[in-house]
C-alpha cells in the first residue's frame, strides 16, 4: 500500500513489487488509500497486467490518504482485523515518516512488515534518498528557470514558496540547482531585517533581480510568504512578486532516478517478504540498498546540509 503524501515513483515501486512477487510465487494484493483502505478492507489482487504502463505516471494508482483513524485504538483494531480476515501474510508500506511509524506499530503487534521510504521532503532517517525527491527537485528547478526569465525582464524580486513543512531540503537543493540568490529554511533562524539586507546588498552590487526560495516551514518564523513579500516591498521599494508552487511539486512523470529507485526498492521489499525478512525499511545508503530496523526510522535531524546552505548564499552574491 501507498500511504501519506503521494510521491512520484510510488507506482514504480508497486509495479516492481507485484511483478517480482509473481516471479517468486507470491500473490500480491493492493490496498487502496493506505491505512484508510486497510481499516475498511478496500483491497484487491494485483497481477502483472494490472501494473502495466504505470511506471511513467506520478501519484499512485493505489491512491493514498491521510488517516487520523489509524491513530485511534478503534482504527488500529479494525486494521488488525482486516489483516487477519483477508489472510494477509505480510505488508509492504510505501510512505513517509508518519506512514512508516504506522508500519513500526504493526510490526510491534506481530504483523510481518517491510517499509519503503517515499517523501519529497527527504526527511526519513536511515536513507540517503526517498522516492519522489528527485522529481520534486527537478520540478522546482524547472519553475525557477521560468520565474527567472520574468524576474530578469521586469527587474523584480521573486519569492518562491516550496513545500517542505519543517524540512528545508527541497528549498535548499532546489535553490542551489536553480541559482537562487537567497534560500530561507526553517532549520536556520533569520529575521526580516537580515533578508532585506541581503536583497539590498545584491542590488548595490549591480544585480537587477533576485530569486528568494522560501521553504513553507519558514512561515512559522517570518509569517506567510505573501506578508513577507509585502514587508520587503514596503521597506525597499522594489517590485516584489510571490509565487507558491504548492502541489505542482508532487505531480508529474517521475524522473529516471525515481523510477529506478522505486523499482529497486519495490523488488527488494518483495524479495525480503519471500525470504521471511521483516521489521525493517529498505533504505538507500551510498548507492546500496540496506535494511534499516523500523525502530530506528524516524524524522531525520537535521534534514539539510549546513555546508550547502552556506554555499548557496555564497554563490548567490
Q: Catalytic residues, which ones?
A: 121
Helix or strand or coil: residue 172? Answer: helix
Which alpha helices (H) appear in the chain, and where do they start and end? 10-23, 34-40, 73-85, 97-108, 133-154, 169-177, 192-204, 219-222, 225-236, 256-275, 306-315
Paired sense of beta strands 240-244 and 210-215, if any: unpaired
Neighbours of 289 (CB within 10 A): 17
Residues 6+ apart with CB under 8 A from 69: 35, 36, 39, 75
Phi, psi of 56 (to 5 degrees): -90, -5
Q: Is the dihedral of CA 37, 38, 44, 46 positive or negative?
A: positive
Q: Report the Cα–Cα distance between both ends of the chain, in Å, rounded.
A: 46
Q: Are 10 and 59 contacting, i.e. CB atoms less than 8 angstroms apart?
A: yes
Residues 6+ apart with CB under 8 A from 157: 151, 199, 209, 210, 212, 232, 236, 238, 239, 240, 241
Residues 6+ apart with CB under 8 A from 255: 8, 134, 135, 138
Amino acid at each position: 500500500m501507498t500511504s501519506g503524501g503521494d510521491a512520484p515513483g510510488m507506482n514504480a515501486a508497486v509495479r516492481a513489487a507485484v511483478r517480482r512477487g509473481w516471479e517468486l510465487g507470491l500473490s500480491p494484493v493492493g490496498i487502496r488509500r493506505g491505512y484508510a483502505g486497510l481499516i475498511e478492507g478496500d483491497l484487491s489482487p494485483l497481477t502483472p497486467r494490472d501494473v502495466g504502463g504505470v511506471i511513467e505516471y506520478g501519484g499512485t494508482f493505489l491512491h493514498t490518504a491521510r488517516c487520523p483513524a489509524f491513530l485511534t485504538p478503534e482504527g488500529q483494531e479494525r486494521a488488525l482485523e482486516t489483516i487477519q480476515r483477508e489472510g494477509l501474510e505480510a505488508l509492504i508500506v510505501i510512505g513517509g515518516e508518519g506512514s512508516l511509524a504506522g508500519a513500526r506499530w504493526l510490526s510491534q503487534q506481530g504483523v510481518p512488515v517491510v517499509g519503503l521510504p517515499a517523501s519529497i521532503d527527504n526527511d526519513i532517517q536511515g536513507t540517503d534518498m526517498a522516492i519522489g525527491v528527485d522529481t520534486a527537485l527537478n520540478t522546482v528547478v524547472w519553475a525557477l528557470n521560468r520565474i527567472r526569465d520574468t524576474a530578469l525582464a521586469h527587474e523584480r524580486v521573486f519569492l518562491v514558496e516550496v513545500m517542505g513543512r519543517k524540512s528545508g531540503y527541497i528549498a535548499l537543493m532546489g535553490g542551489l540547482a536553480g541559482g537562487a540568490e537567497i534560500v530561507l529554511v526553517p532549520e536556520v533562524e533569520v529575521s526580516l531585517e537580515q533578508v532585506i539586507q541581503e536583497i539590498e546588498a545584491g542590488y548595490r552590487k549591480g544585480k537587477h533581480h533576485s530569486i528568494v526560495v522560501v521553504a513553507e516551514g519558514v512561515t512559522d518564523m517570518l509569517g506567510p510568504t505573501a506578508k513577507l513579500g509585502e514587508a520587503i516591498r514596503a521597506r525597499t521599494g522594489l517590485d516584489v512578486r510571490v509565487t507558491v508552487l504548492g502541489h505542482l511539486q508532487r505531480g508529474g512523470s517521475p524522473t529516471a532516478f525515481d523510477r529506478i529507485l522505486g523499482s529497486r526498492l519495490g523488488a527488494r521489499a518483495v524479495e525480503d517478504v519471500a525470504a521471511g525478512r521483516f521489521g525493517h525499511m529498505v533504505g538507500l545508503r551510498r548507492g546500496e540498498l540496506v535494511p534499516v530496523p523500523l525502530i530506528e526510522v524516524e524524522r531525520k535531524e537535521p534534514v539539510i546540509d549546513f555546508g550547502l546552505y552556506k554555499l548557496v548564499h555564497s554563490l548567490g552574491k
